[in-house]
Amino acid sequence: MANIPYRPDEQVPPAEVPDVHPPHPHTWIGRWVFSQDAKYIAIQYSATAIAIGLVALVLSWLVRLQLGFPDVFSFSAEAYYQFITMHGMIMVIYLLTAIFLGGFGNYLIPLMVGARDMVFPFVNMLSYWVYLLAVLVLVASFFVPGGPTGAGWTLYPPQAILSGTPGGQDAGIILMLLSLILFIIGFTMGGLNYVVTVLQARTRGMTLMRMPLTVWGIFTATVMALLAFPALFVACVMMLFDRLLSTSFFMPTLVEMGEQLSYGGGSPIVFQHLFWFFGHPEVYIVALPAFGIVSDLISVHARKNVFGYRMMVWAIVIIGALSFIVWAHHMYVSGMHPYFGFFFATTTLIIAVPTAIKVYNWLLTLWRGDIHLTLPMLFALSFVVTFVNGGLTGLFLGNVVVDVPLSDTMFVVAHFHMVMGVAPLMVIFGAIYHWYPLMTGRMLNEAMGQIHFWVTFIGTYAIFFPMHYVGLVGVPRRYPEIGDPAFITTPVDGLNAFISIAAFIVGAAQILFLFNIAWSARNGRDAGGNPWRAASLEWQTPQTPPRHGNWADELPVVYRWAYDYSVPGAPEDFIAQDDPWVQQTAPT
């Protein structure tokens, strides 16, 4: 009994280290441009990520124009490859990774663990500026001769650096690799901050097992990123050498246009292993923060504690660990040994166990809860549905015999858009609706939000449900136009046009969402200090939005976990984490 850490206790250990106030900026530039305040850095990160994400959104429109109406809008194959490559790369790395870790991580970690700021504010600031530089290098590749790389977001050699691929022998691929290297350097600076802040800078009473699941998700994802990004870093350096110095790390002996190239003896498969050793954990680097955030959203808006908190934490940690030994399930058709496939299929399916625990626990948190269908809750629910959907098609693709015929079809595209495109985006939206009042002191407009939600939710299903079918009838991915081949017995032109129209509508709804963010900053309803009546620490700050240094003269003291909702006998239906209230008579 005494060891159950999320029960309130009266005795909180004394402070181990003196309270350090972050230095106050004295100049306008120090305050608004080169800010060292994690909350401001978070907004800079998010704004940059959303801005570059808009570019990726427009690119997806161009892709859909080509696929839906190949007779009307006919881009060159080169341009099409550039669109899909940059769309994928921006969405996965520069939007999702950056906004979850750099955005929500920076904003929420110090507030949720009761710290005044990140532990190294200066390094944290550098992290953002290096990230911005990475984004600018990426954008620059649109304007160099030959344009950005069209190698596909996986950048597989040898084609990525050959002249047949757009940007392969021009500057496109060089800028892409440089941008990734910069991104990794910038991320490492931020990531060290997030990890050390969670481990070493919590407030009194905040044990690891009292942290909100949001922090657990972001923390585990950051640790994974610090261990997985090195593989991408090394792969980028080696490919950059192959491209610039004519080394042959990944390049076998090749004949191009009748001429033998100077390359010889390298192995393209090594790149695939390195890329996916990063690439698979990357899926969970995006998914784990989403898991954590959605747990918190469901708990707050169903007025119930998270079901099986400890299991949820362990599931996050186990998923994080397992995701390092499943990478080759992306490579079943690469020609590797079949026993490898057997091993990786097994580990892949084992991940379904902790993931299923999480899904059941979300459902059991909702079970008989006092569900408020607020906007964050709607997005959280749509995440659970979408994630289960994407997870089920993952079972198809995780098995070697089923994956081989489905490899490189639109089914794969539909699968990963469902599971790591739409699902985490739903959480990002839900999280913005949930924490926007904390960041600005105002609520987002409800009517615009409802339109945004329903169009996005129904629209993404209209896009990606038929896409599974398009893949099943055999349409390969990465083809701008397939014409009328004999192996496709059912024409899918009509479906493709339908998907494209849905994609334009969904994209337009995102513009409405951005307008809502801008509009509500001035005109939104006043939110007060804690509009959702949430128990976790970030809502207990003396001011909303929290000022520099987050807390008043004294740091908060934590007496309980973050999920004391609807506790019988309590004065309100939630008990804040820093509320020392204790039930006087023990419930039977």
Partner 1 sequence: MAESTLQTDHPEGLDGFVRDWSSDQRTFKRVSWGKAMMWIFLLSDTFVFSIFLIGYMSARMSTKSDWPNTSEVFSLHVGGADLPLLLIAIMTFVLISSSGTMAMAVRCGYARARKATAGLMYLTALLGATFVGMQVFEWTKLIQEGVRPWGNPFGAEQFGASFFMITGFHGTHVSIGVLFLIIIATKIWRGEFDRPGRTWLKSDAGDYEAVEIMGLYWHFVDLVWVFIFAFFYLW
Question: What is the token pair recorded at 382?
Answer: 């749509």
Q: Which of 165, 248, 382, 389 binds partner 1 (CB under 8 A)?
A: 248
Binding of partner 1 at residue 583 (CB under 8 A)?
no
Report the nearest approach of partner 1 to the CB of residue 207 (Å).
5
29, 33, 136, 209: residue in contact with partner 1 (rule CB under 8 A): 209
**H-helix segments, 323-374:** 338-366
Taking CB under 8 A as the rule, which mask of x and - marks residues 82-121 in contact with partner 1?
-------------------------------------xx-
Contact between 275 and partner 1 by CB under 8 A: the answer reads no
Say if CB 298 and CB 365 are below 8 A apart.
yes
Judged by CB under 8 A, which of 58, 73, 76, 246 binds partner 1?
246
- Structure-token pair, residue 137: 């290098």
328-340 burial code (b ≥16 CB/10 A, e <16): bbbbbebeeeeee
**For partner 1, what does the binding mask look like between residues 219 and 238, x meaning CB under 8 A?**
-------xx-xxx-xx--xx
206 near partner 1 (CB under 8 A): yes
Question: Under rule CB under 8 A, which residues in 132-191 are in contact with partner 1?
Answer: 188, 191
Place of tokens 């929290």: 546
Total site size for partner 1, rule CB under 8 A: 56
Give the count of beta carbons closer than 10 Å to the beta carbon of residue 123: 15
Q: Which is nearer to partner 1, 20 or 29 (CB)?
A: 20
Q: What is the smallest separation between the CB atom of 473 and partner 1, expressed in angstroms? A: 38
How many Å apart are CA 241 and CA 46, to the nearest integer?
33
- Give the integer Cα–Cα distance in Å for 52 and 54: 5
* Least distance in angstroms from the C-beta of 356 to partner 1: 27
**543 counts as binding partner 1 under rule CB under 8 A:** no
Nearest to 38 by CA among 113, 91, 117, 104: 117
Tell me how far, at minimum, the Cβ of 193 lies from partner 1, in Å: 8
Nearest to 85 by CA among 38, 42, 136, 147: 147
Phi and psi torsions of 476, nearest 5°: -75, 155
The amino acid at 127: S
Q: What is the dihedral of CA 78, 277, 336, 398, to 10 degrees?
A: -90
By CB under 8 A, the residues from 389 to 418 that bind partner 1 are: none
Toward partner 1, which CB reaches closer, 153 or 233? 233
Report if residue 328 touches partner 1, rule: CB under 8 A: no
Residue 2 burial (CB < 10 Å; 0-12/13-18/19+)? exposed
For the bound state, the minimum distance from the C-beta of residue 186 to partner 1, rounded and expressed in Å, comes to 13
Residue 447 interacts with partner 1 (CB under 8 A)?
no
What span, in angstroms and rounded, lies between the C-alpha atoms of 574 and 372? 14
The residue (of 193 and 460) whose beta carbon lies closer to partner 1 is 193
Name which position in 56, 99, 126, 274 contacts partner 1 (CB under 8 A): 274
Q: Which residue has the tokens 């496939």?
A: 341
Find the shortest distance in angstroms from Cβ 199 to partner 1: 4
Contact flag: residue 247 with partner 1 (CB under 8 A): yes
User: Which H or E element spans position 472?
Assistant: helix 446-472
- Which residues, 555 to 574, sit near partner 1 by CB under 8 A? 558
Element (H, E) at 256: strand 255-256
Instruction: Give me the residues that bind partner 1 (CB under 8 A), please.
Output: 2-3, 5, 9-17, 119-120, 188, 191-193, 195-196, 199-210, 226-227, 229-231, 233-234, 237-238, 241, 245-249, 262, 264-267, 270, 274, 277, 558
